[in-house]
Amino acid sequence: MRSLAFLAPLALACCAHPPHAAPPGDEQPPAPTPQHQTWDETRWPAQTPAAPGQAQTDAPGGGRPLIGGATLHEITVPHNGRAVDLQCVLFDDRHYHLRIIDQPEDWSGGGQITASMRGVNAAAGVNGGFFTPQFAPLGLMIANGRKTGAWQQNKLLTGAIIVDSQPRLLWNAETGRDSARELLQAGPRLVDSGRAVASLERARHTTRTFIATDAGRRWIIGLAHGVSLGELAEILASPEFLPGFRVHRALNLDGGRSSAIYYRAADGHEHADPGWSTVRNYLAIVPR
């Protein structure tokens, strides 16, 4: 493991591919039987992106409906004289399981997000946390009950996604991770108690992946394009960000070349924007 001073800019810029494949871990228990049709049980073809230059439009009532009741929101937010595009999946954790999906094959490529999401019958998902040049998770990961890596406290890994009885965003100083069935360290924090975290960098503009909660049962996973950490924090903390949803906490995930998003619409159509890099893990929402 290299020094933190090297790891932090490396992880925020993009995660490098290691020269050798990491051996797959032990077999994991089978996923619960899905309550919705799996991707191959629908009549619709997979991977149907919009035509070049054609924007996705929100359905009446706000958002494009996904399986299980989540909604996709493709929005443009004016900020500091620029237009920032975001893709956000809004969901209620009473209707979805939040899952960490380990992806130990370092040669799989960014397009692996589609197979990983299909494997758990996910409605949507994004790339997950940071990883080292040796393709090990940076910090602690618990995926389907199996621990990989070790808990770290530093200026980059300032929080974690934790799932026990329900999902939570916890900061490093808080307790409650011992009972986690799923856990992913990430960072830095973007929004805390509804306010943008101060002193985040503002010079590097790239694609950012994030997760946010309203402190109730509603969550967002998503991507923001061409934005710095400080700008993303301000956008998410703004009352105008997404009408009807007020961000209480938000946590940055891996970004840059690792950024990827997948979703499956209520009519069965799939869409994926894969990242350029192989990533170690994904964050998925799976209908209950």
Domain-wise residue ranges, the chain: 61-252+266-287
Residue 139 buriedness (CB in 10 A; 0-12 / 13-18 / 19+)? buried
Determine the Cα–Cα distance for residues 106 and 115; give it in Å rounded to an integer: 15
The two tokens of residue 123 are 């409605």
**Residue 74 clears pLDDT 70, i.e. is over it:** yes
Residue 97: pLDDT band (50, 70, 90) is very high
CB 281 within 8 A of CB 100: yes
Quick check: helix, strand or coil at residue 104? coil
What is the pLDDT, as a whole number, of residue 3? 39
DSSP 137: B
Cite the beta strand spans of the chain per DSSP E: 64-65, 71-79, 82-92, 96-102, 124-127, 141-143, 146-148, 159-163, 167-171, 182-186, 189-192, 195-196, 206-213, 218-227, 249-252, 261-264, 270-273, 281-287
Determine the Cα–Cα distance for residues 9 and 4; give it in Å rounded to an integer: 9
- Taken in order 161, 167, 169, 173, the sign of the CA dihedral is negative
Q: Which residues lie across from 272 on neighbouring strands?
A: 262
Mean pLDDT of 243-247: 95
Q: Residue 126: which of 277, 262, 279 has the closest Cα?
A: 262
Q: What is the pTM of this model?
A: 0.80
Span 119-135, pLDDT tens digits: 999 999 999 999 999 99
Span 148-193, pLDDT tens digits: 999 998 999 999 999 998 999 999 999 788 889 999 999 999 999 9
CB 285 within 8 A of CB 96: yes
- Taken in order 151, 167, 100, 263, the sign of the CA dihedral is negative
- CA count, 13 A, side-chain hemisphere, 90: 21
What is the pLDDT, as a whole number, of residue 2? 37
Q: Which residue has the tokens 């900020």?
A: 79
CB 94 within 8 A of CB 217: yes
Quick check: helix, strand or coil at residue 194? coil
**Residue 42 clears pLDDT 60, i.e. is over it:** no
